Structure 1
Amino acid sequence: MDAHYLDKANPDVYAALRATADTIAVAAREAGLPKLLTELVSVRVSQINGCAYCLHLHTKKLMAAGESVQRLGVLTAWRETELFDETERAALEMAEAITTLPAPEERIAIEYRVREVLSDAEFAAISWVAISMNAMNRLSITSRHPVRPPRA
C-alpha cells in the first residue's frame, strides 16, 4: 500500500465520503438534474482544482452521458460560447463560485443570479455536487491518485 493514499489508510473514512457522494447523486436525480449536467459540473470543478485523476474519471462519465467533444473542449471558456443552455450556465457559475470562493458580495450576487434559473432543489443539488467534487478532488490530489495509460 502506498502510504499517501488516504482512501487506503482510512478506508472507513473514505467509505463515508463515498456514501455521501452517492447520496448527493440521488438528490441530484430527485431534483431532476440530468447525469450530463452533474458530470459537467464535476469536470468543471476538477478543471479548476487541477485534479488529473478526477478529470480522467469524470470526463469518461461525461462522454458516456452524451457530451460532445466540442463542448468538452470549450468547457473552460463556457462563458465565451453559446453552446451551454441557461440551466447549464447557472450550474457552472454556481459550481465555480463554490470552488473558488470569491468575496462574499460576489458570491451573494452569483447566488441571486443562479436562483433566477434554478429551482431550490436544483440549486441545492448543484451546490452539493460541487462541494462533494471539491472534497474528492482534494482527496485525489493529496493522495496523488495516478492516471494510468490505457492498456494496449
Structure 2
Amino acid sequence: MERISYTDIPEGMFENLRVIEDSINNSSLNNKFTELIKLRVSQKNGCAYCVDMHYKELKYAGETELRLSSLCVWEETPYFSNKERAALKFAETLTKINSAPIPEEDYTPLLDHFNKTEICYLTLVITQINTWNRFMKVCLFTPGNYKIDREVV
C-alpha cells in the first residue's frame, strides 16, 4: 500500500517538520487540545494514518470515548467547551481555505479564548497537520501501525 517508504523520504525532511512540532509543543497551547485539533483536521482531510495516530495520542492523554466518537459531529454535541468550539471552527475554515480572507465570524470568537501569540500557534498547528495529512496521502503509510513510544526518564 505504501507508495513512498520512510526510508525513501529525503534526509532532513521529517526532521525539519519535527522542529515545527517541537515549537508547537513548547508553546502555551495544551498538548491534549492540539491533538484534538489535529484529529479533527485529519478527519476533515480523510487522512487515515493521521486519524489513527491522533486518536491513539488522545486516548493515551486520557480523552474520553464519548468526545472522540463525537468529534466528527462536534457542532451537534454539548461535549466541547466554547474554547474548543472556536478553535474547531477556525481549524475547519482554515483547512478548507479559499481565496477569501478567513471570515470575521470564524476569527473573532478566538479572541475570547486566545491571545494573538496563541492564535499564531493555533494557526501553525492547523497548517502543520494539513501538511502532514497531504504528505501521508501521497506516501500512503499504512494506518493502524502507529504506536505511542514514550521514553521513560
TM over 0.5, shorter chain: yes
Q: How does 1:128-143 map to 2 (within 5 A)?
A: 128-143=124-139
Structure 1 alignment gaps of length 5 or more: none
Label 1:7 to 1:16 Cα distance change in 2 as closer, same or farther (>3 A): farther
For residues 7 and 49 of structure 1, the distance between their equivalents in structure 2, rounded to whole angstroms, comes to 25
The structure with the largest helix share of the pair is 1
- One-letter amino acid of the counterpart of residue 8, structure 1: D
For residues 48 and 120 of structure 1, the distance between their equivalents in structure 2, rounded to whole angstroms, comes to 25
Label 1:149 to 1:11 Cα distance change in 2 as closer, same or farther (>3 A): closer
Aligned 8 A contact 2:94 2:102 in 1: no
Q: How does 1:33-44 map to 2 (within 5 A)?
A: 33-44=29-40
Matched, 1:18 2:49: no
Aligned 8 A contact 2:40 2:72 in 1: yes
For residues 106 and 16 of structure 1, the distance between their equivalents in structure 2, rounded to whole angstroms, comes to 27
Matched, 1:71 2:67: yes
Structure with greater contact order relative to length (CA < 8 Å, sep ≥ 6): 2
CA offsets, 1:40-62, max 9 Å, x none? Answer: 00100100011111111111101
Matched, 1:97 2:93: yes
Out of 118-127 and 61-70, give the one that drifted further: 118-127
For residues 96 and 7 of structure 2, the distance between their equivalents in structure 1, rounded to whole angstroms, comes to 25
User: What RMSD in Å do the two structures reach over aligned CA positions?
Assistant: 2.2
Q: In the alignment, what sits opposite 1:127? A: 123
For residues 61 and 69 of structure 2, the distance between their equivalents in structure 1, rounded to whole angstroms, comes to 16
CA offsets, 1:84-138, max 9 Å, x none? Answer: 0111111111111111115626533311222233222321221111111111111
Label 1:148 to 1:71 Cα distance change in 2 as closer, same or farther (>3 A): closer
- One-letter amino acid of the counterpart of residue 11, structure 1: E
Aligned 8 A contact 2:37 2:126 in 1: yes
TM-score, reference length from structure 1: 0.84
For residues 11 and 40 of structure 1, the distance between their equivalents in structure 2, rounded to whole angstroms, comes to 29
TM-score, reference length from structure 2: 0.84
Q: In the alignment, what sits opposite 2:80? A: 84
Q: 1:144 aligns with which of 137, 140, 147?
A: 140
CA offsets, 1:25-45, max 9 Å, x none? Answer: 212xxx2x2221111001001
Label 1:87 to 1:7 Cα distance change in 2 as closer, same or farther (>3 A): farther
